[in-house]
């Protein structure tokens, strides 16, 4: 029986990096977006931009995922 | 166009299988979003149905083999395919009744193996391919998805520890909608293609289509609509097990589970190492449960699910063998099998009415 260990290993590594990466980015976006509204009520535009950047990066990765599905 | 009885029966049964496929697998994409309230139940199954239909039309690559090389396809006939499909449908209905997520692809493979075995002999079944394409992925997929979801869940909670609970719940709910939709789309492009492949190859075998044909529009439309309708009607019993039975999912966990599942499914199909959507998503949910706190996973439910996975192939093979043997006897045999299958389907539905699960009570923890 032939087990394609290298393909299996690649799936593990890529899925780990992408899955954990997207969730971490999104979590950062949630955290930063929250602090901008709660800390003294003063909106820091830096935090707001950082939050948007996090979500945009997630959206870009998801968009690439859709592209992979469609182009297959 | 000359279509014999058996070909017609195979087409109808393939569409029925496609319906149970959608019905069974709604939970994979949507159970976690329904459980956390990210989407109302009816809206969730609606979105999933539309994306499955879109997925059926999107994918250019249509399955070129019925069995992915698991059986010797020069030695199978329409009645064997019919037997295999019946085995898959019956097993899908039985696991639905018990509320257990199990792989529809494994059910189809099992049915085909059983039917081929009795009709053409055990040497027509390629057991090494079975091990490579069914057994190894079945063990690997929940482990990989579980590990990714575990780490992702842990990080999601750690990173957002200082955010307000309300903000966290709402933020991740939005993320859940996106990740669940991606899983639905990927499902449509994969699973609807399988049924299209089965129907197209049966028509080619019967001489109704020239060899190497692409699926006719009615086949694409039929398969897409069958899987979408099944998805929309929703296997609520399975959705409840996935969303509430295994662990009480919160929105960061749901997001982590579905994102990990999407990452694993897309990576594996891109690298040509096909994994079962059901196994990946269930593994993701378990991993998300462990990632928050170990005790939160109901291991008895998870254990029953794993038993169902192990039984799927042999059980569907047994039904497929019986159905294939009977339907090889001629038109009368085919009609008897068809009637029996309809009888079992009605029976399962009647049994399910004793303790109905629907959109109204899908979020109650099962007893």
Per-residue pLDDT of B33-53, as tens digits, reads: 999 999 999 999 999 999 999
Neighbours of B309 (CB within 10 A): 22
Q: What is the rounded average pLDDT of the residues B1-23?
A: 85
List, in sequence order, the alpha helices (H) in chain B. Answer: 5-35, 41-58, 78-97, 104-120, 127-130, 136-159, 165-205, 217-233, 236-240, 251-270, 277-292, 299-327, 331-352
Whether the Cβ atoms of residue A27 and residue B159 lie closer than 8 Å to each other: yes
Q: b/e per residue, B161-174, with b = 16+ CB within 10 A?
A: eebeeebbbebbbe
Contact B167 A20 (CB under 8 A): no
Q: Predicted ipTM?
A: 0.86
Q: How confident is the model at residue B355 (pLDDT cuts 50, 70, 90)?
A: confident
| Angle, CA B234 vertex, CA B229 and CA B236 arms, to 5° | 165
Domain boundaries, chain B: 3-352
Q: How confident is the model at residue A43 (pLDDT cuts 50, 70, 90)?
A: low
Q: What is the DSSP letter of B64?
A: S
Task: Determine the residue of chain A that is closest to B267 in CA distance.
Answer: A11
Please say whether the dihedral angle defined by the alpha carbons of residues B76, B80, B85 and B88, taken in this order, is positive or negative: negative
Within 152-181 of B, beta carbons closer than 8 Å to A belong to 152-153, 155-156, 159-160, 162-164, 167-168, 171-172, 175, 178-179
Question: Measured between CB atoms, which of B132, B156, B164 is closest to A2?
Answer: B132
Q: What is the DSSP letter of A72?
A: -
Neighbours of B303 (CB within 10 A): 10
Instruction: Give the integer Cα–Cα distance in Å for B268 and B216.
Output: 29
**pTM (two decimals):** 0.87
Distance from CA of B181 to the nearest CA of A (A): 10
Contact B159 A15 (CB under 8 A): no
Whether the Cβ atoms of residue B127 and residue B69 lie closer than 8 Å to each other: no
Q: For B86-116, write each residue's pLDDT tens digit.
A: 999 999 999 999 889 888 988 999 999 999 9
Measured CA distances, B299 to B137, B246, B250 (Å): 22, 7, 18
List the one residue out of B312, B310, B261 whose CA is nearest residue B283. Answer: B261
């Amino acid at each position: 029986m032939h087990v394609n260990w290298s393909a299996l290993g690649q799936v593990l590594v890529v899925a780990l990096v992408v899955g954990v990466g997207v969730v971490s980015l999104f979590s950062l976006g949630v955290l930063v977006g929250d602090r901008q509204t709660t800390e003294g009520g003063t909106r820091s535009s830096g935090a707001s931009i950082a939050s948007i950047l996090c979500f945009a990066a997630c959206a870009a990765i998801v968009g690439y995922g859709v592209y992979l599905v469609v182009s297959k | 166009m000359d279509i014999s009885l058996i070909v017609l029966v195979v087409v109808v049964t393939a569409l029925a299988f496609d319906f149970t496929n959608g019905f069974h697998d709604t939970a994979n994409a949507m159970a976690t979003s329904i459980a956390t309230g990210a989407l109302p139940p009816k809206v969730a199954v609606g979105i999933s149905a539309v994306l499955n239909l879109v997925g059926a039309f999107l994918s250019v690559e249509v399955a070129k083999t019925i069995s992915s090389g698991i059986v010797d396809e020069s030695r199978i006939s329409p009645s064997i395919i019919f037997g295999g499909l019946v085995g898959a449908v019956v097993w899908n209905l039985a696991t639905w009744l018990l509320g257990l997520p199990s792989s529809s692809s494994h059910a189809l493979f099992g049915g085909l193996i059983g039917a081929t075995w009795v009709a053409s002999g055990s040497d027509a079944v390629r057991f090494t391919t079975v091990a490579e394409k069914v057994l190894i992925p079945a063990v690997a997929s929940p482990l990989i998805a579980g590990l990714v979801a575990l780490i992702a869940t842990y990080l999601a909670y750690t990173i957002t520890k200082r955010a307000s609970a309300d903000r966290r719940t709402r933020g991740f709910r939005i993320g859940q909608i996106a990740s669940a939709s991606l899983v639905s789309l990927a499902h449509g492009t994969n699973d609807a293609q399988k049924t299209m492949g089965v129907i197209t190859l049966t028509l080619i075998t019967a001489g109704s289509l020239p060899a190497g044909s692409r699926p006719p529009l009615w086949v694409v439309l039929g398969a897409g609509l069958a899987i979408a309708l099944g998805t929309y009607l929703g296997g609520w019993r399975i959705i409840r097990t996935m969303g509430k039975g295994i662990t009480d999912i919160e929105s960061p966990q749901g997001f982590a589970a579905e994102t990990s599942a999407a990452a694993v499914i897309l990576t594996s199909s891109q690298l040509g190492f096909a994994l079962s959507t059901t196994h990946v998503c269930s593994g993701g949910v378990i991993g998300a449960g462990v990632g928050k706190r170990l005790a939160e996973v109901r291991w008895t439910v998870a254990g029953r699910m794993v038993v169902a996975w192990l039984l799927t192939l042999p059980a569907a093979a047994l039904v497929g063998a019986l159905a294939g043997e009977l339907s090889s006897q001629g038109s009368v045999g085919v009609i008897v099998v068809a009637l029996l299958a309809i009888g079992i389907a009605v029976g399962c539905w009647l049994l399910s009415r004793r303790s109905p699960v629907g959109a109204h009570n899908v979020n109650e923890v099962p007893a």
